[in-house]
Structure 1
Amino acid sequence: MKIQGRMFIWLSVFILAVAIVYGVWAKEPVGTTGLFLAFGLSIMIGFYLAFTARRMDSLAQDNKEADVADESGEVGFFSPHSWQPLSLAIGGALLFLSVAVGWWLAYFSAPMLLIGLWGWIFEYYRGENRTQ
């Protein structure tokens, strides 16, 4: 985390320099404001990561001589045969397409999106996998 904190802090310094140069040169308020907001977000993330890294033990990514396998372990549980992400992706794609084609398409895509989301969340709460 120390490396990521330093990267974000240096990125924020770069974004601040670009925001100042852009603001003086272009005199365009919207882009200048966006760059200053990007600076603020980057500095917040950098200081959070640096602050958190000081309170944690050193991770394998902070050791220059560490191997890739040093941080290996269980990542989480992923459903091996779920069809719910497909319906969620189709519903989401059609919902975003409704912005370009017409809002009438949202009436057909929103139920598909909600069914896919509901099915994915509660996939293991029915049948033989139900917890009691």
Structure 2
Amino acid sequence: MKSEAWIFAIVTIFFALVTPAYWFIAGDWTGTSALTMTTLLAVMVTFYLGFHAKRMDPRPEDRKDGEIADGAGELGFFPPYSWWPLWCGLTLSVCVFGIAAGAWWLFIIGLVLGALAVSGWIFEYYRGVHAH
């Protein structure tokens, strides 16, 4: 994680230099505050990655003697196809459209259908073809 910490350190330095330059060139409070918050966020991520990089065992890509084969093995569980994210996204769009249009009844319908879609997504590995 040292390489990621260095990348974010470079990003932090970049935003720390760009923020005052933007203020002097544009004089815009909104952009300056956004760039300031971006700088602070990059500082936070840099310190987090640097803190954990010192306390964890180095990964194969962090070691100088690391080989490609050292990173082999199981990478994790990748689920097969699923239709539930589509239904969750559609019900979220119904909820947002209901709020934007001022139709609270449509928002409530979206919430009910969204609860069904989220529960289907959570429990998809407990029933059906992919049940354990």
TM-score, with length taken from structure 1: 0.78
- Tell me the residue number matched to 1:4: 4
- Tell me the residue number matched to 2:63: 63
- Tell me the residue number matched to 1:114: 115
Q: CA RMSD in A?
A: 2.7
DSSP-derived class of the 1:74 partner: coil
How far off its partner does 1:16 sit? 0.9
DSSP-derived class of the 1:113 partner: helix
Q: Report how many residues are paired.
A: 129
- Tell me the residue number matched to 2:14: 14
How far off its partner does 1:103 sit? 3.9
Counterpart Cα distance in 1 of 2:32 and 2:43 = 17
Counterpart Cα distance in 1 of 2:111 and 2:73 = 38
- Tell me the residue number matched to 2:92: 92
Amino acid at match of 1:123: E
Runs of 4+ in 1 over 6 A off after TM superposition: none
Amino acid at match of 2:112: P
Counterpart Cα distance in 1 of 2:44 and 2:31 = 20
For structure 1, the 5+ residue unaligned runs are none
Provide Cα deviations, 1:33-77, integer angstroms capped at 9, x if missing partner. 110110000011011101111111111221356455532333333
Counterpart Cα distance in 1 of 2:98 and 2:68 = 44
DSSP-derived class of the 2:77 partner: coil
How far off its partner does 1:18 sit? 0.5
Percent sequence identity is 35
Counterpart Cα distance in 2 of 1:61 and 1:103 = 52
